[in-house]
Amino acid sequence: MSNQHTTHYDVIDNKSQNRFEIHIDDQIAFEDYEFFTTSQGEKGIEYKHTFVPEALSGRGIAGYLVKVILDCAAARKLRVKPTCPYVKSYIDKHPEYQANSVFHGAKA
């Protein structure tokens, strides 16, 4: 496996704890989530909290995790409610995700 420009981490959907996880060096980075339905009856996913252990900080793990889960939500046709400030900030900086966010372009 090559370690060139892009690092790949496996993102696990831990359904029993309602969170997406990345396991690295006996540490776990995660994003808590909860499903919801919009007032128009569309299915959605609320991203509630991003956590990266201090030992893993500075590796781009949070950004990688958020990109993967936003792509996953779009592929599953789920509206996104970014109540986590990190996820909202990520969407603010990446306009390609704004149309699917109930706090940006999509209707709640």
CATH number of the domain that 79 lies in? Answer: 3.40.630.30
Question: Domain for residue 7, yes or no?
Answer: no
pLDDT digits (tens, 9 = 90+) for 27-74: 999 999 999 998 889 999 999 999 999 999 999 999 999 999 999 999
pLDDT at residue number 7 = 77
Residue 90's domain comprises 12-100
| Residue 29, beta-bridge partner list | 22
Question: Domain for residue 69, yes or no?
Answer: yes
Question: Domain for residue 1, yes or no?
Answer: no
List CB contacts of 9: < 8 A, sequence separation 6 or more.
Answer: 22, 24, 61, 64, 65
Amino acid letter for position 88: K
pLDDT digits (tens, 9 = 90+) for 63-97: 999 999 999 999 999 999 999 999 999 999 999 99
Buried b (16+ CB within 10 A) or exposed e, 4-26: eeeeebebeeeeeebbbbbebee
Structurally, the chain folds into a number of domains equal to 1
Residue bearing the bigger pLDDT, 3 or 67: 67
Question: Domain for residue 4, yes or no?
Answer: no
Angle between helices 61-75 and 85-93 (to 10 degrees): 80
pLDDT at residue number 104 = 81
Amino acid letter for position 20: F
